[in-house]
Structure 1
Amino acid sequence: MKTAGAPEAAAALNVLVTGGSGASGVAVAGALRRAGHLVFTVGSDRARIEDAARKAGDGVTPLVCDLADLSAVHALRESLAGTTGRMDAVIHLVGGWRGAKGIADQDDADWDFLERGAITTLRNVSRVFYDDIAASGTGRFAMVSSTAVDRPTAATASYVAVKAAAETWTMAMAEGFGRPAPGAEGHSAAPGSAAVVLVVKALVDADLRRAHPERKFPGATDVEDLAAAVVGLFSQPAAELNGRRLLLAT
């Protein structure tokens, strides 16, 4: 008997990978495609996202969108709905890093960059695709955060503040997904959708290791391990995942 809220193992899902131009996007999109899902990867630069999709493998569809523009995200969803249908999942990989020496020199331009990348894009994507994910029997939303949120420093104040805000927004989504839905004969059905935070210290890939053979990257998570964790989200019951912070740091 299938556990309530657990996904069907063989189901092919429509998955949107946002911020897909980087190494993590390539790894995640490729792993999802090899797992049998229909994968759409999004970036703001056409050349970069098309190159990333080619690296991810056959069948990964590249899309161009400014995710910080709410109207553009609405247009993206309308386009996908017209050609593919509802998105079952969004894996949000948009990020960026800016640091400083301490509190006094935290720069407004850095704050604007981080806020736009870490919060605005996540708010836009989650608001536009929330109903799609909630309506899916295997809906998933995942974002990548940092262990630095647990140990904020003066030098990382802006970075950890926006990451903490993004995590809080994601946990609010989880509360929404976790509300029981009316089931048959008036009973409440277990939720089928989940929002999770994947926590890493840093991400590393093969190219970065080759470029810096002298470095050990202690505690870093390989993008292939991140990708495996994302694929694994679809084989676990939503009730066991929803609202969790999953530590991937080694």
Structure 2
Amino acid sequence: MSVTDRTVLLGGATSPSGLALARALVDAGARVIATGRSAERLQSLRSIGAQVEVADATSLEAMTELASRLDTVDAVIPLVGGWRGGGGLAGQSDDDFRALLPALDSVRATSRAFDAALRASDAGRFAIVSSTAVGRPLAGGANYAAVKAASEAWTRAVAQGFAKAARDAGEPLRAASVVFRAKALDPESLAPRVLALWDGDAADLNDQIVTLD
């Protein structure tokens, strides 16, 4: 198996990391569907060969509507992110926490909307980008680490759902859910790991936490 001819949805892909990952996937022969809330910001993704959709990756309604229009989806990678912190524990404001929540919202919305499609694929993949801060949270980044930890927990629940569905159907596991952890996200380290999601068996990949270089 390889990423060639796979349909990969990147949710909230208008960041530099989203553009770099989309380019790597297109160059590898994948069909990339990139979502964002701004048609203008999506133009750079369209220019490299991605199919673009103006849709909010944090909205279950928007993602469900998009899923209903797509024939096949082999992978979903939500890329909504951002960082706010500092000020020690007392400086972890509610406003900062709310500003970080869209990252978790996108993980929840995309995984729910595309769960059936990923399980129907012969090699479905769901992956998120988390942070090494989850393993060693600091007081000044407590809001950020908490949101990332929640995102990881949700992603591991997706993995358990894939495994249970396969067991209940008496079929081999074909879908896998993976967490990528990075200290500081570097598209040059993320892209090869995403391309390699189809190099191994889903049973070996499912529920793995992979630390990026």
Q: TM-score, normalised by structure 2?
A: 0.93
Q: CA deviation at 1:31?
A: 1.3
CA distance in 1, matches of 2:37, 2:25: 21
Match of 2:182 among 200, 222, 244: 200
Q: Counterpart in 2 of 1:230?
A: 194
CA distance in 2, matches of 1:94, 1:46: 16
Confirm or deny that 1:243 pairs with 2:195.
no
Identity %: 42
Within a 5 Å distance, the mapping from 1:1-250 to structure 2 comes to 8-9=1-2, 12-54=5-47, 57=48, 59-79=49-69, 81=70, 85-115=71-101, 117-179=102-164, 181=166, 188-203=170-185, 222-249=186-213
Q: Which has the higher contact order (CA 8 A, sep 6+)?
A: 1
Secondary structure (helix, strand or coil) at the match of 2:139 reads: coil
Secondary structure (helix, strand or coil) at the match of 1:95 reads: coil
Secondary structure (helix, strand or coil) at the match of 1:28 reads: helix
Specify every segment of 5 or more residues in structure 1 that has no aligned partner in the other structure, as ranges: 1-7, 204-221
Q: Deviations over 1:159-202 (max 9, x none)?
A: 0000000000000000111226369xx9x332010000011000
CA distance in 2, matches of 1:149, 1:196: 15
Relative to structure 1, the CA distance from residue 11 to residue 68 in structure 2 (aligned partners, 3 Å threshold; closer, same or farther) is closer
Question: How many residues align structurally?
Answer: 213
Query: What one-letter code is carried by the residue in structure 1 that aligns with 2:132?
Result: T
Relative to structure 1, the CA distance from residue 102 to residue 69 in structure 2 (aligned partners, 3 Å threshold; closer, same or farther) is same
CA distance in 2, matches of 1:225, 1:68: 25
Secondary structure (helix, strand or coil) at the match of 1:236 reads: coil
